[in-house]
Amino acid sequence: MEEEILNEEKHGQSECPPEYIVFDEERGEYICTLTGEVVEEKVIDSGPEWRAYTPEEKTRRSRVGSPLTHTLPDYGLLTTISSYRDASGRKLEARVRLEASRLRRLQAKLRAATSIEKNIEQAVREITRFVDALNLPRSIIDTAMMIYRQAAEKGLVRGRSLESMAAAAVYAACRIRGIPRSIDDIAELVKGGRKEVARCYRLIVRELKLRMPIVDPVRYVSRIVSALRLSPAVERRAAEILIQARRLGLTAGKDPAGLAAAAIYIAALELGERRTQKEIAAAAGVTEVTVRNRYKELVQKLNIPLPAQ
């Protein structure tokens, strides 16, 4: 059921196992991070694919379309149907009373439905704010909303800050779609702070049973490289190093940003475009120590001979 979420776009035939195929946003092509081969060029980002996971959701989906921009909450339907007496004060006979209570229940449902709608609308506003502030692709809004909606339906938002839950949904959406953003990037925009966002995120992952892929370290490379004005050659070499590193199982459990930083440090060194560990650490959002540790490990385990500068 939930694996469906990870079922991304279909790709052309290739020896590449699909889980290693990533979309290089800069170049607009799919590459296999296992072999480095370009899988398919000129692919249009198919954007979000709404999928219905359950029959209920399928029916719900149909009325999800436009109402988010709608600002008519109840169409004036929300009069309370409360009395057991009619307009002239007489008691109602049983059959009518039954009908009245049916209406009352219906009305209660409507009221609940509109409060949910309001909540969802607020979430859309927050999520859009994060996506805009972080320069994320617009399609993240849909993915994040899908997650937020499911969380809301499970009652996970109640008693927690909507803002933090929305931020957590955005982070989860980035992870699912392999977009390299740290939880801190997003948490910076949230009043509640990093800890709260992280807690909401873990709650969402656990309760919705999302299987979170780790973002491929290769995806962090182009961001860091361009921040440091390094050449495309460095970028390619760093990616190569990371692909090798994964073959040897060096990437599991490590911060992908730290790995990318170390690979870039090595690549830049090799190609005579040296940057200090400090610069690279800052660009990658990790500490120098992490760069050093990953760098040490990569050089050692990949037998990379370093130029004696």
Partner DNA sequence: CGGAGTAAAAGGCACTT
Partner DNA sequence: AAGTGACTTTTACTCCG
Residue whose CB is less far from DNA, 129 or 254: 254
In angstroms, the CA 152 to CA 124 distance is 13
Q: Which of 163, 196, 235, 255 binds DNA (CB under 7 A)?
A: 255
Q: Which two tokens stand for residue 74?
A: 């109840």
42 Cβ contact list (under 8 Å, min separation 6): 28, 29
Q: Is 276 in the site for DNA (CB under 7 A)?
A: yes
Q: Is 295 in the site for DNA (CB under 7 A)?
A: yes
Residue whose CB is less far from DNA, 126 or 196: 196
In angstroms, the CA 27 to CA 99 distance is 63
Element (H, E) at 40: strand 38-41
In angstroms, the CA 20 to CA 55 distance is 31
Shortest Å distance, C-beta 24 to DNA: 23
Shortest Å distance, C-beta 196 to DNA: 11
Q: Which two tokens stand for residue 222?
A: 């182009």
Q: Which of 57, 287, 302, 304 binds DNA (CB under 7 A)?
A: 287
Q: Which of 253, 303, 307, 308 binds DNA (CB under 7 A)?
A: 253
Q: Is 258 in the site for DNA (CB under 7 A)?
A: yes
Could you tell me if 167 and 181 are in contact, meaning their C-beta atoms sit under 8 angstroms apart? Answer: no
Residue whose CB is less far from DNA, 148 or 171: 171
Q: Is 294 in the site for DNA (CB under 7 A)?
A: yes
209 Cβ contact list (under 8 Å, min separation 6): 2
Q: How many CB atoms lie within 10 A of CB 196?
A: 19
Taking the chain, what is the end-to-end CA distance rounded to the nearest angstrom?
54
Q: Is 202 in the site for DNA (CB under 7 A)?
A: yes
Rounded to 5 degrees, what are φ and ψ at 24?
Answer: -85, 110
Q: How many CB atoms lie within 10 A of CB 235?
A: 21
Residue whose CB is less far from DNA, 48 or 285: 285
Q: Considering only 139-147, 166-174, 239-247, 292-300, which stretch makes contact with DNA by CB under 7 A?
A: 292-300
Q: Considering only 7-15, 23-31, 75-83, 250-258, which stretch makes contact with DNA by CB under 7 A?
A: 250-258
* Residues near DNA (CB under 7 A), total: 22
Q: Considering only 54-62, 76-84, 195-203, 236-244, which stretch makes contact with DNA by CB under 7 A?
A: 195-203
Residue whose CB is less far from DNA, 43 or 198: 198
Shortest Å distance, C-beta 206 to DNA: 9
Give the CA distances from residue 203 to residues 62, 125, 156, 199, 228, in Å, rounded to whole numbers and listed in that order: 28, 22, 8, 6, 36
User: Residues 81, 68, 7, CA angle at the centre, nearest 5°?
Assistant: 120
Q: Is 211 in the site for DNA (CB under 7 A)?
A: no
Shortest Å distance, C-beta 273 to DNA: 12
Residues that bind DNA (CB under 7 A): 195, 198, 202, 253-255, 258, 274, 276-278, 285-290, 292-296
